[in-house]
A and B are shown apart, each in its own frame.
Chain A
Amino acid sequence: MINEEAVHYSRILTEVTLSFHIIYATIGVGIPLFIMIAQWVGIRRNDEHYILLARRWTRGYAITVAVGVVTGTAIGLLLSLLWPNFMEVAGHIIALPLFMETFAFFFEAIFLGIYLYTWDRFDNQFKHLLLLVPVAIGAAFSAVFITTVNAFMNSPQGFEILNNELINVNPIEAMFNPSMPTKVSHVVATAFMTAAFILASIAAYRMVKGSKHIYHKKALHLTVTVGLVFSIASLIIGDFSGKYLAQYQPEKLAAAEWHFETSENAPLILMGQLTDDNEVRYALEIPSMLSILAYGNPSAEVIGLDQFSEDEIPPLYIHYLFDIMVGIGTLLIIVAAIYWLGIRRRWKFIKSKAFLWLLVFSGPLCMIAIESGWWLNEVGRQPWVLHGIMKTAEGATSSNQVELMLWLFTGLYVVLGIGSVIVLTRMFKKNPIERELAERNQ
């Protein structure tokens, strides 16, 4: 009954759609916080630069949200269209957070519409700022609820199965599954971190291109400082995510770390290469570090892949995804910390082009970390769509037209992707900050 071809194309279409949506969704979750901070600082200090920061960010944000809405609607429908069997089961147990997510969207969409179109309608600027609060809350809660669903897929609970029937369903217990606390907080923290570094990239880019305007310095300082806070938070929560994996999804952790034999004092393997008979070459090994990562204790025993049957082990390439994510996270903490210290201590080189270029790359690097993290999380769950309950292939559609849809949707994403980049660059190129400031002061 399983249609292999349909499964194959459904997978690709899901991967493409989610990988595209997450770019805009992450920006959508993160940016409102920064608009809020900038507008607040601007009103408090009566500093027009910050107010303009908020305005310009908002203009860009309106466009990324629109693409987020379009791709999100696509995912929502595609989940039912491509994974009908999975959604039938999921609908019984985990529909509650999905349903609440739509309310979060509603809330966000309504206030975003109001916020965007009321910049000059209030005499008291604080009132206008207040309108942004529900936008930020709505966006963050969309992430919280959808990630709860994803956490459930990784550690399903809150129901029993008797003779192929679901019984004793408890939607609340399903929501608060073991994977939920770390996953939700890691996703939200990394979204804020990513938004920070993307905005920092833009400011740094302007400075590299020779702008000496204080406006960009203010923007860079604000975003990198907040980015530092959230990147440290991401690291700490990421460490807890590893501890969660060790306990509930040991095969995912073992595959991500190329940990083949169950052992104590397990070493952490960084990068490297795998031979055909699973020997690790050219890797950096840190003794006992995996045991520390997994249990906070250097002599703890870590379960290896030898405990699992061949067909329940996820693809081993997730090791690289894990290393990329952690590598980028660590690098950005260092860069942001150097910047922060450098500003205090008046180090010269943080104003140098080379260092600014590093900051220019921080945003795109963060986005790569987000993609790697999600791929690690999703591919690492394979072959399950519902961990331990339903295999991915069993969840898929039996339709024969998935390939056609794949091409159509890919075309749509190409148009949306290129279009959003063109519109955004044109919007800011045509209206540089120097000109906007001059016009406002007339």
Chain B
Amino acid sequence: MDLEIIGILVLWTFLFGYVMIASIDFGAGFFNAYSEFTHKNHIISNIIQRYLSPVWEVTNVFLVFFFVGIVGFFPSSAFYYGTTLLVPVGIAVILLGIRGAYYAFATYGKNPAKHYTFLYGATGLLLPASLSIVLTISEGGFITMVNNAPVLDYWKLFTSPLTWSIVLLSITSLLYISAVFLTWYANKANDKKASNLLRKYALIWAFPTMITALGIMVELRAHNPTHFANLLNLWWMFAISFLFFLGTVWLLWKGKKFGIAFSLLVGQFAFAFYGYGFSHYPYLLYPYLTIYDGFTNEAMAISLIIAFILGLALLLPSLYLLMKLFLFNKTYIEGKNPSSKGVPSK
């Protein structure tokens, strides 16, 4: 396999990891704020305390890994994307800052103020919107070269239906992913009330997710026919993804086997995500940058890959330990453990 392909696969995998766990995090924030708003008391805030607080820094590192990695493997992407993305990504960083502050000041320092909970919830929807713009831009047509420097056409970007359908998809799917996961988690915690409420949310958001996904296909066909044709060639991946989707919805409907429902959901998004990624190949940015002309030198590529393998050897066992303690430990998630309420308990 080409080094270029190994590089992009590694990065795409980490991006997928980020999309999944960040969706859970962002969505939980939104549901939390929403239930506060509708006075459904603190059904969800317990789960946020117990599951999200210990892992939010890890979630963040997935993102850091992705953007450090992409500059490492594909230095030219710094030139094209760095110059043009200042505003959308800058805003995303500030929103991430607000979320970090919530964890730092509200949950570590305990009593979160009400308006802060709303702000935290709102960032959960704004973040996917500002981050997903990167995917829109990668489809080409929004960046032009002026005096050898890339320039982003904001007007065109914000009036394009493609932009808005991608934003919508990112929001609906994040709510869906998050609701399915939290249903499972609440069920494991034996919290029937929370589990039922979240199951309802999951079912509500399932179909909008599908519809917005189809919407993107339609928009893409007009916007970037090459990419659209590549997508069609990979139709079977999207078909598998759809079958997984049906499986999740069916299990949720029946109200059983939430663990399997969540695994199917991961499968659904994995097939769709990689299908989209493969069909994007070889472009990082239509039509200026492919993974081949933006790639780093061979010596750097090899050393990055070696570092990656060594890093994984260190990381996977540690991640396993983290999951074992906070995701699969019954006394912890049920909140029976004395240290599950805050940092560090008295």
A-to-B contact residues, CB < 8 Å: 1, 55, 58-59, 62-63, 65-67, 69-74, 76-78, 80-85, 87-93, 95-96, 98-103, 105-107, 109-114, 116-121, 134, 166, 169-172, 397-399, 401-402, 404-405, 408-409, 412, 415-416, 419-420, 423, 426-427, 436, 439-440
Contact = CB atoms under 8 A, between A and B. Distances in A.
A112 B108 CA distance: 13
Interface stretch (B56-64, B166-174, B196-204): B56-64
Q: Taking each of A84, A106, A171, A436, which has the highest tally of chain B beta carbons within 10 Å of its own beta carbon?
A: A84
Given A81-B85, A92-B296, A423-B104, A106 B109 contact: no
Nearest to B87: A401
Contacts of A171: 299-300, 303
A96 B322 contact: no
B147 interface: yes
B297 A73 contact: no
Interface stretch (B34-42, B71-79, B259-267): B71-79
Chain A, interface SS category: helix
B297 A169 contact: yes
B27 to A, nearest CB: 20
Contacts of A439: 346
Contacts of B308: 99
Contact of B339 (A120, A397, A401, A419): A120
A101 B104 CA distance: 23
Given A99-B304, A103-B315, A106-B311, 9 more contacts: A70-B104, A105-B64, A109-B58, A121-B339, A134-B318, A397-B82, A399-B83, A405-B87, A427-B109
B110 to A, nearest CB: 9
Interface string B318-346: 11011001100000000001111001111
A390 to B, nearest CB: 13
Given A62-B343, A409-B90, A91 B82 contact: no
Contacts of B84: 399
B75 A89 contact: yes
Contact of B64 (A96, A102, A116, A415): A102
B297 A166 contact: yes
Contact of A116 (B54, B65, B303, B315): B54
Contacts of B104: 62-63, 66-67, 70, 419-420, 423
A426 to B, nearest CB: 7
Interface string B110-133: 000000000000000000000000
Contacts of A166: 297
B101 A73 contact: no
B270 interface: no
A172 B303 contact: yes
A380 B280 CA distance: 45
A402 B86 contact: yes
Contact of A95 (B89, B96, B300): B300
A111 B322 CA distance: 8
A170 B297 CA distance: 10
B31 interface: no
A425 to B, nearest CB: 11
B344 A117 contact: yes
Question: Which 5 pairs from chain A and chain B are nearest by CB?
Answer: A91-B75, A84-B82, A66-B104, A95-B72, A70-B100
B6 interface: no
A397 B83 contact: yes
Contacts of B101: 66-67, 70, 415-416, 419
B93 interface: yes
Contact of B303 (A77, A96, A117, A416): A96
11 contacts: A67-B100, A70-B104, A87-B82, A92-B297, A99-B307, A100-B307, A105-B64, A110-B315, A110-B319, A118-B339, A404-B87
A71 B97 CA distance: 7
B91 interface: yes
B63 to A, nearest CB: 7
A117 B83 contact: no
B146 to A, nearest CB: 9
Contact of B75 (A92, A96, A110, A113): A92
A81 B86 contact: yes
Contacts of B85: 81
A286 to B, nearest CB: 45
B307 A96 contact: yes
Nearest to B147: A1
A99 B340 contact: no
A87 B78 contact: yes
Contacts, number: 234
B319 A88 contact: no
Contacts of A134: 318
B55 interface: yes
B325 A118 contact: yes
A333 B71 CA distance: 42
B314 interface: yes
Contacts of B149: 1, 398
B292 interface: no
Nearest to A165: B297
B343 A59 contact: yes
B97 A107 contact: no
B326 A103 contact: no
A131 to B, nearest CB: 9
B300 A93 contact: yes
Contact of B344 (A80, A116, A419): A116
A66 B67 contact: no
A58 B75 contact: no
Contacts of B296: 91-92, 95
Given A63-B108, A121-B339, A99 B72 contact: yes
A50 to B, nearest CB: 15
B282 interface: no
B258 interface: no
A391 B245 CA distance: 53
Given A70-B97, A88-B75, A93-B300, A103 B314 contact: yes
Contact of A119 (B307, B311, B339): B339
Q: Taking each of A67, A106, A119, A416, which has the highest tally of chain B beta carbons within 10 Å of its own beta carbon?
A: A106
B271 interface: no
B214 interface: no
Contacts of A426: 109
A95 B94 contact: no
B69 interface: yes
B18 interface: no
